[in-house]
Amino acid sequence: MAVKYYFIAAALMLTTSLKAQNPIICDRYTADPAPYVHGDTLYLFVDHDDDVTENGYFTMRDWLLYSTVDMVNWTYLGTPITPKLFTWAKQDNDCWASQCVERNGRWYWYVTATIKGQAYPGIGVAVANSPAGPYRDPIKKPLVQGWFKIDPTVYIDDNGQAYLFYGNNNLWYVKLNRGMTSFTGSEVSVNIKSEEAFGPYKGYEDNGNPKPNFEEASWLYKMNGKYYLEYAAGGVPEHWAYSTADKITGPWTYQGKVMGEAKNSFTIHGGSVDYKGHSYMFYHNGALPGGGGFKRSTCVEEFTRNEDGSIPFIQFTTKGVNPIQTLNPYELQQAETINQSSGIKCEGDYNGCYVTSIHASDYIKVRNVDFGAIGAETFSARIAAAGRGTMIVRTGSKTGSIVARVQIQSTGGLDVWEDISVNTTRTVKGIQDLYFTFTGSTTGASILNFDTWQFSELGSSVEFVGNDKTTNKDRIYNLYGQKLQKIDDAPQKSIIITPQGKVFKK
């Protein structure tokens, strides 16, 4: 944008430790996280800071989607929208803050973009039948447009009336129609100059006019009959604050600071959400290696609301949040379901995503994988490769003990997919963090593209195990119920587990 809303923050080089869970998305810079809970899944709609910053300013070319069911492993669901969808928008940049909500089975993704041929922004809406798309632009124009009209937040009230709030150094709202792609009446301006509503002034202009505390990034929701408006406050660097109201139209009452200034980023844009009995606060900082004010990264902290519903001050951590469920390695898992990673990139869209740009010394960590009491027997993966290398699956760390080793050979190209399967090199049991590590080329084309993986459980090929009721002794039966007197009688390639837990492998 021609007008810059911010002073430029200096970028610091930081590194993340393997133990750190924040930032939660590691394969690219992400900003302005907008979480949305639907069924069992938490979707995370984010903006995307480019790896290469142009003109020392935000360089943002698309919007991305991730999801989780356990709060520690995040699945890349593609890049559902680029400015190409919006004929009215500048095409190669300025994909700013957004929020997506579901209504009656349709997903409405409100985004900030620059109006084509102008320097000022507008807020458009993309609509799809599923969160990952495909999206379309039903109205082919921005819903609202004008200086400072950025950062949409949407809330559908209990009576079905939906509201769209937005604004930088201003706060406006419109009442959306049921179709969610138009509004009735005129835009209302909220008085952000009220200190009772939005907190103490952050200072005064040279001409003596006060500078309101409210900055941007409003995040609206209702809880126990009260409306909450979280927002970035205090100028730049921003902190996170909130106000509450008994009516969505106000008056708002300032409630205080929720988070301090984000590390290495002069913006903080986020939002809180309740999920599976926990409360989480999302935000961004500049903590990924090479990160900064224009290369931000999404983080999340857990917090507990006070009994009166107020939000406590939340400390930033690198530890992040705890897993709320385990991941089942005996079900097909997407390679792009990742806890932490280095070097790799995720690609794809609603037709399917995969991990690419894999080189020697890159890794993918998947956290809290439950192998159970019996353990794994085989490891299989769907891969495509143009050359040679190795995928080595380990537990505990990048150099931890090896569970499976897959020799990679060309499948005919990086788009020719093949299913491979190997026996595990040892029995892995219990809850483990898995690390996918690689050998092969350190530069150039990806060693492989990696789509899915799965383990089979030791004994899943057992014919039948039983206990001889007459003698109360372990006996082994085959699939057809025939009693086998000796292990030798079991068919080849059987895994035999007695009721006492003894394991025999043929």
Residue type at 232 in one-letter notation: A
Kindly identify the residues of this chain, within the stretch 306-365, that bind ligand FUB according to CB under 6 A. none
Among 22, 29, 32, 484, binds ligand FUB (CB under 6 A): 32
Q: Does 433 bind ligand FUB (CB under 6 A)?
A: no
Measured from the CB atom, the residue of 150 and 383 that comes closer to ligand FUB is 150
Q: Does 269 bind ligand FUB (CB under 6 A)?
A: yes
Kindly identify the residues of this chain, within the stretch 55-74, that bind ligand FUB according to CB under 6 A. 58
Cβ atoms of 127 and 135 within 8 Å: the answer is yes
Shortest Å distance, C-beta 80 to ligand FUB: 17
Measured from the CB atom, the residue of 32 and 301 that comes closer to ligand FUB is 32
Measured from the CB atom, the residue of 34 and 358 that comes closer to ligand FUB is 34
Shortest Å distance, C-beta 227 to ligand FUB: 20
Cβ atoms of 100 and 43 within 8 Å: the answer is yes
Going by the DSSP 8-state scheme, the letter that residue 198 receives in this structure is H
Shortest Å distance, C-beta 5 to ligand FUB: 8
Cβ atoms of 435 and 394 within 8 Å: the answer is yes
Among 194, 264, 267, 437, binds ligand FUB (CB under 6 A): 267
Measure the CA–CA gap between 296 and 260, rounded to whole angstroms: 16
Among 47, 137, 230, 451, binds ligand FUB (CB under 6 A): 47
Q: Does 76 bind ligand FUB (CB under 6 A)?
A: no
Shortest Å distance, C-beta 415 to ligand FUB: 33
Closest to 74 (Cα-Cα) out of 461, 367, 389: 367
Shortest Å distance, C-beta 217 to ligand FUB: 4
Measured from the CB atom, the residue of 215 and 362 that comes closer to ligand FUB is 215
Shortest Å distance, C-beta 146 to ligand FUB: 15
Distance of CA 242 to CAs 112, 202, 221, 231, Å? Answer: 22, 15, 11, 6
Q: Does 294 bind ligand FUB (CB under 6 A)?
A: no
DSSP H or E segment with residue 196: helix 195-198
Shortest Å distance, C-beta 239 to ligand FUB: 13
Shortest Å distance, C-beta 150 to ligand FUB: 5
Measure the CA–CA gap between 436 and 448, rounded to whole angstroms: 12
Q: Measure the CA angle with vertex 332, ends 331 and 338; round to 5°.
A: 105
Q: Does 377 bind ligand FUB (CB under 6 A)?
A: no
Kindly identify the residues of this chain, within the stretch 87-146, that bind ligand FUB according to CB under 6 A. 96-97, 112
Residue-wise DSSP of 39-107: TTEEEEEEEEE-SS-STTS--EEEEEEEEESSSSSEEE----B-GGG-TTB-SSS--EEEEEEEETTEE
Locate 376 and state its tokens: 């794994």
Q: Judged by CB under 6 A, how many residues of this single chain contact ligand FUB? A: 13
Measure the CA–CA gap between 224 and 296, rounded to whole angstroms: 33
Q: Please give the distance of CA 280 from its chain centroid, rounded to a whole number.
A: 13
Measured from the CB atom, the residue of 199 and 270 that comes closer to ligand FUB is 270
What x/- string results for residues 150 through 169 when contact with ligand FUB is judged by CB under 6 A?
Answer: xx------------------
Measured from the CB atom, the residue of 68 and 112 that comes closer to ligand FUB is 112
Kindly identify the residues of this chain, within the stretch 186-225, that bind ligand FUB according to CB under 6 A. 216-217
Q: Does 230 bind ligand FUB (CB under 6 A)?
A: no
Among 31, 143, 176, 434, binds ligand FUB (CB under 6 A): 31
Locate 154 and state its tokens: 């949407």
Closest to 121 (Cα-Cα) out of 92, 158, 95, 156: 95
Beta-bridge partner residues of 48: 30
DSSP H or E segment with residue 256: strand 253-259
Residue-wise DSSP of 212-253: -SEEEEEEEEEETTEEEEEEEESSSS-EEEEEEESSTT---E
Q: Residue 55: how many CB atoms within 10 A of its CB?
A: 9
The binding site for ligand FUB (CB under 6 A) comprises 31-32, 47, 58, 96-97, 112, 150-151, 216-217, 267, 269
